[in-house]
Amino acid sequence: MSFYLPKGAARPPRISHGEGVHLYDERGTRYLDATSGAVVSNLGHSNPRIVAAMAEQAHRVTFAYPRFFESEQNVRLAGKLADLAGEGFDRAFFVSGGSEANEAALKLARQYAVACGQSTRWKVISRDPSYHGSTMGAMAVTGDSFTESIYGPMFQSMPKIPAPLTYRLPPGASAEEHLAACAEALEQRIVEEGADTVLAFILEPVGGLSSGALVSPPSYYRRVREICDRYGVLLIHDEIMCGAGRTGAFLSSQHWEGSRPDIVTLAKGLAAGYTPFGAVLAPNRIVETIGAHGGFVHGHTYFSNPFSCAVAEAVIDEVVEQGLVERAARMGQYLDRRLCDLQKASRLVGDVRGKGLLMAIELVADKETRRQLPPAMNAPARLTNYGLAHGIALYNRRANRGQFGDIQLIAPPLIITEPEIDDLVERLGRSLADFERDLEREGALD
């Protein structure tokens, strides 16, 4: 039995197979994959084109170490990603997942500063709450007090500023005032730390589980870009969850003019769960400067693996040829409307937010006061159990043990149809209704 499960936890259903937006357990029970697993399965399950590409590449070559051999799969994929990402993203570095991608981005930024004669720059500012991965470097920039309470002595924690959460505002502040204050907090922290020590600012342009699909207005992203430019700070966008088309643009930063980052990280939907994969995209000016000083001092056994690159290329081709980026925008609008209908009907849904097919609901005990459910209850985990009983698979990760709210992401595969969205919302509604009845019996909604 896996040691991932806490003591006494019920064992989850044992998976048999998947098809389209559905998963099946060994008993034949069907579950609608409402969160694409961990917001990974952008193409759904058992896509014939991807399965065929996997088999073809496996027959050719599955591993060739990139320090000794170049692969056509690596080169082709890098070119296609550069085209989709647009001007300023000329080079790609491929890894095995999101944590590795963010680790590589931080190291790339640091080595660039050293190569430019700015070795005093090493601090990376991030937001609280936030999530950037589970490796030591990624945890150092993650805004999560609970994980830091466990692992904090093992890494150098980096400076944090408030994330622009607007569902609950500071006393006396409007949403506009709070957003402006959160942006200005970046400049204040750079000055406090010493501008010549600050290397980068990393943020998720559309939030993941830590902030519940948080989306800010264009002015926030532009202001962040202006501040970074003023102090020579690199801007890193963590698009591990929100990139690769999920929000209705290939990169979320493409939604907002004037917000473009210097470095971007991708994973999850980039290979859609068909192989572990991630990427760092960077401009020539960074990569060539590092190259002139001996090359990037970083790597893992499976970086730029030709098998994984071939699979990711097939995924990208499917996304482009099936118009799934545009579809995510269209289906996202429909999902938003249906979730807002659910919000009106459910006593527990306090907020609906997100972009494209990266949406979230926030669970509350009282919608009028926005009072949270008791943190010890772990409401998202309980909702997941109700969901399984109603044939819907949900994913949640509780940042800061619920300090900033109880979030349930709703992020189905990009291939989902309107009738399947209707089915998703209906099953979610029944799960919420069961949860609400039990909470009433427990007195948690009084």
pLDDT in tens, 156-184: 999 999 999 999 999 999 999 999 999 99
- The total number of structural domains in the chain stands at 2
Same domain, 279 and 294: yes
Task: Tell me if 5 is assigned to some domain.
Answer: no
Q: Is the pLDDT of residue 67 over 70?
A: yes
Alpha-carbon separation of residue 271 from 16, 119, 310 (angstroms): 21, 35, 9
CATH number where 229 lies: 3.40.640.10
Mean pLDDT, the chain, as a whole number? 95
Q: Is the pLDDT of residue 427 over 80?
A: yes
* Domain contains 87: yes
* Segment 275-284 mean pLDDT: 98
The verdict on 383 and 247 lying in the same domain is no
Claim to verify: residue 170 and residue 186 sit in the same structural domain: yes
Report the pLDDT value the prediction gives residue 159, as an integer from 0 to 100: 98
The rounded radius of gyration (Å) of the Cα atoms in the chain is 22
Prediction pTM value? 0.96
Whether residue 2 lies inside any domain: the answer is: no
The Cβ-side half-sphere exposure at 320, using a 13 Å CA radius, reads 12
CA distances to 33, 347, 406, 410, 421 from 341, rounded to whole Å, are 20, 12, 20, 14, 13
Environment class of 180 (CB within 10 Å of its CB; exposed 0-12, middle 13-18, buried 19+): middle
Owning domain of residue 38: 15-46+323-442
- The answer on pLDDT for 10 being more than 90 is no
User: Could you tell me if residue 335 is inside a domain?
Assistant: yes
pLDDT at res. 2: 57
Residues 116 and 26 in one domain: no
CA distance 239 to 49: 25
Are residues 220 and 312 both part of a single domain?
A: yes
What is the pLDDT, as a whole number, of residue 445?
Answer: 86
Interacting residues of 119 by C-beta distance below 8 A, sequence separation 6+: 113
Q: Is the pLDDT of residue 220 over 60?
A: yes
- Residue 6 placed within a domain: no
Q: Looking at residue 355, which CATH number applies to its domain?
A: 3.90.1150.10
Convert 410-434 to b/e letters by CB count within 10 Å (16 or more is b): bbbbbbbeeebbebbbebbbbbbeb
Question: Do residue 265 and residue 126 come from a single domain?
Answer: yes
- 38 with 107, same domain: the answer is no
pLDDT score, position 375:
85
Confidence of residue 408 (pLDDT cuts 50, 70, 90): very high
Residue where a domain stops, chosen among 275, 296, 321: 321
| Among 262, 287, 321, residue at a domain's last position | 321
Contact 413, 248 (CB under 8 A): no
Cβ atoms within 10 Å, residue 333: 14
Closest by Cα among 46, 76, 104 to 312: 76
- Residue 4 falls within a domain, yes or no? no
How far is Cα 93 from Cα 74, in angstroms, rounded to an integer? 9
Q: DSSP for 28-89, please give it.
A: --EEEETTHHHHT-TT-B--HHHHHHHHHHHHH-S---TTT---HHHHHHHHHHHHHH-TT-
Judgement on whether residues 140 and 54 belong to the same structural domain of the protein: yes
Give pLDDT, residue 6.
67
Indicate whether 74 and 197 sit together in one domain: yes
* 171 and 311 co-located in one domain: yes
130: helix, coil or strand?
A: coil
In a domain, residue 10? The reply is: no
245 and 348 belong to one structural domain = no
Are the C-beta atoms of residues 264 and 229 closer than 8 Å to each other? Answer: no
Taking every pair of Cα atoms in the chain, the longest distance, rounded to a whole number of angstroms, is 67
Beta strands in 228-311 (DSSP E): 234-239, 263-266, 278-282
pLDDT band with cut points at 50, 70 and 90 for residue 396: confident
In this structure, which long-range contacts are made by residues 22-25, counting pairs with CB atoms below 8 Å and at least 24 apart in sequence?
Answer: 23/393
Q: Do residues 30 and 145 share a domain?
A: no
388 occurs within a structural domain: yes
**DSSP-derived pairing of the beta strands 392-393 and 349-355:** unpaired
Which residue, among 431, 433, 434, 420, has the nearest Cα to 33 in the 3D structure?
Answer: 420
**How high is the pLDDT of residue 401?**
73
- The Cα-based distances of 431 to 81, 132, 248, 382, 386 in angstroms read 39, 30, 28, 10, 5
Tally of CB atoms within 10 A around 87: 8
